[in-house]
Amino acid sequence: MSIAQVRLGAASAAAALAVCSLAAFSGLPSRAADVSGDGTCGSVRIGLQATTSKDAWAAQTCFSKAFAKCDPATLFVSFGGVDSGVRRTFTTLTSNFDGTCQVVDVVEHYRVPNYSQSDTYLCSSVSQTSDGLIFTRCGADGDVMVPTDPSSPKAAAFNH
C-alpha cells in the first residue's frame, strides 16, 4: 500500500468518524424553510470558478437561519487553486449534553497529485455579516470566515 493510499484511507476514516459522531451527537429538529429536502444549503466556491455573490449570500443565509433554529443543515465550501486547495463541510448539530447548537467542520486540505489531509472540528457559533459567514472557535483553525464575495481579493484568506 502506498503512502498516498494510507493518507487517503486516513482522510476517509476521519470523514466517516465525523459522520458517526454527528449521528450520535445530534437531534432531529424540523428543517429550515430554505434548506433543501436533503438538508443542504448549497456550496460556495472560492478562487477558480468562484460562486456568484448572490448564490454565496443565499447559501450563507440558509445556513445562518438553520443554525439560529438549530435545524439540520450542511454548507459545502471549497477554495481551489491550480494544484491545491481546501474543502470544508459545515454541518449543524444539537448537543445532547446541553442542548446548544454547534457546527461540525470537516476540513480537507489537498494537493495534486496525491496528498490529502483532513481534520474535524466543532465550531461554537455562526454569525452572518455583510462580509460573510463567520464560524467561531473551530478547533485549531480558530475563526473561519466564508466571504460573501468569493471572487474578491480578500477571499483568498479563506485558504487556511
pLDDT tens across 60-117, in order? 999 999 999 999 999 999 998 778 889 999 999 998 888 889 999 999 998 888 888 8
Give the strand order in the sheet containing 101-111: 40-47, 74-80, 84-94, 101-111, 115-123
Q: CA 122 → CA 92, 93, 135, distances in Å?
A: 10, 10, 10
- Say which residue, 17 or 127, is predicted with more confidence: 127
> What is the pLDDT confidence band of residue 159, given thresholds at 50, 70 and 90?
low
Do 117 and 108 meet the contact criterion of CB atoms below 8 Å apart? yes
pTM metric for this prediction: 0.74
Q: Where are the domains of the chain?
A: 3-158
